[in-house]
Amino acid sequence: MFLFYNKKMRDLSLNYTAIGSLPFSDKNAPSRALDYVFEHFAEIPFWPQLPHFARNEDMVLQFSGALPGLEFDGEKYFFDTETERFALELEELYLDYETVLGGGEVPDKYKPNSCTIDEFLVRLKVAETPKYVKGSITGPFTMCTSLTDKDGKCAFYDELLKDAIVKTITLSALWQVKKFGNIGATSIIFMDEPSISQLGSSAFLTVEDETVTSAISEIAGAIKQFGGLAGIHCCGKTNWEVPAAADLNIINFDAFSFSQNLSTQADKIAEFLGGGGILAFGIVPTLDVEALRASDVASLEEKFEESLEFLTNKGIKKEQLLAQCFITPSCGCGSLSETEAIKALEYTKKLSKKLKGKYS
């Protein structure tokens, strides 16, 4: 049996959780979403994001509240770096960062802007303590390429803004790590990074992979420093060398559609696994509704085995993959109907249980 360098990861083997977004949108959406999470995902509960319930549930807006100098003109958000407000808030950010990394408390202004997070914490305290709790932040590349300065220049190309964004979302991650740690659970924090699938495209030809890896590693290092597990979620075809080279514990990928793509860089994935890393197989399709409708647990089990085979054919041992993996949907469920979303989550749970029984 392969040994984990981090003993905290052992109980993740063939376990399951979800990415985060749910389609609930009625007035009772937050409580309904939490009811579902704590009933069906009690082993690794996650705080749900509800993008159809409120605008601030958007993946960028949820983590932008404490960004220095961020303005809204009624149509778009942008940084104004020429104001006194920006200078003061930037100085405060760096002081907060230094204080927190030195062991201080994380100010509540770095709390995710979420309609479920407060009640999620209340329910965690009264529930049977899970070994893991999953949180999330928007990944640094996606966050930095989603925001601009007042002239429309992408924040990723401004070193000061990029650094401010990285440190702000790091503090949002650490706010979660500390809150979940207070109940005795190990935090799993996913950086949601859909945009890294665009690295190498015409839009980002000048972006060096090492720059993105460095930003991810800074956040991951802080999460691990405070006892959490740092993961990344990318639901597209990408250069897997970027996350594999970062200081991550977990790589979550769309295993339904892109297992073969992942296997093209099997040497890097083997190094990642050899260092104790975990692959989270997003094997239940959520971005392809027709594929979800055509699926059942048996067909998804076959898809999982096929996904393993792409990697074992490249020399990675099946025993290692099974020991160092868990199951998720391929992406969030926010784009699905409620019925479809619940089906995807049920398949995730049932597949995990079936695989545990099969490989016990």
What's phi and psi for 79, nearest 5 deg? -95, 135
Number of other residues whose CB lies within 10 A of the CB of residue 317: 13
What pTM does this model have?
0.96
Under 8 Å between Cβ of 349 and 41:
yes
Whole-Å CA distances, 331 to 62, 82, 284, 295: 18, 38, 8, 16
Question: Are the CB atoms for 155 and 145 separated by under 8 Å?
Answer: yes
- pLDDT, tens digit only, all 360 positions of the chain: 334 445 667 789 999 999 999 999 999 999 999 999 999 999 999 999 999 999 999 999 999 999 999 999 888 999 999 999 999 999 999 999 999 999 999 999 999 999 999 999 999 999 888 999 999 999 999 999 999 999 999 999 999 999 999 999 999 999 999 999 999 999 999 999 999 998 888 778 888 999 999 999 999 999 999 999 999 999 999 999 999 999 999 999 999 999 999 999 999 999 999 999 999 999 999 999 999 999 999 999 999 999 999 999 999 999 999 999 999 999 999 999 999 999 999 999 999 999 999 997
What's the CA gap between 147 and 139, in Å, rounded? Answer: 13
Architecture of the domain spanning 7-358: Alpha-Beta Barrel (3.20)
Cross-strand pairs, 136: 190
pLDDT for residue 1: 35
Residue of 2, 44, 102 whose CA lies nearest to 280: 44
**Are 190 and 252 within 8 A, CB to CB?**
yes
**Angle between helix 29-40 and 338-358 (nearest 10):** 10
- Give CA torsion, residues 9, 168, 191, 144, to 10 deg: -150
Domain spans, the chain: 7-358
CB atoms within 10 A of CB 54: 17
CA–CA dist 351, 297 (Å, integer): 6
**Contact yes or no for 305/316 (Cβ under 8 A):** no
How much is the pLDDT for 8?
64
> What span, in angstroms and rounded, lies between the C-alpha atoms of 167 and 159?
12
Which 3 state secondary structure label does DSSP give 71? strand
Query: With b meaning 16 or more CB within 10 Å and e meaning fewer, what string describes 339-360?
Result: ebbbbbbebbbbbbebbeeeee
Give the separation between CA 133 and CA 188, rounded to whole angstroms: 6
Which bin fits 222, alpha (ψ -120 to 50), beta or left (φ > 0)? alpha
Which tokens in the block code for residue 223? 């999460």
Cα–Cα separations (whole angstroms), residue 157 to 129, 147, 160, 285, 353? 43, 11, 9, 34, 45
Taking every pair of Cα atoms in the chain, the longest distance, rounded to a whole number of angstroms, is 61
Burial class (CB in 10 A: 0-12, 13-18, 19+), 328: buried
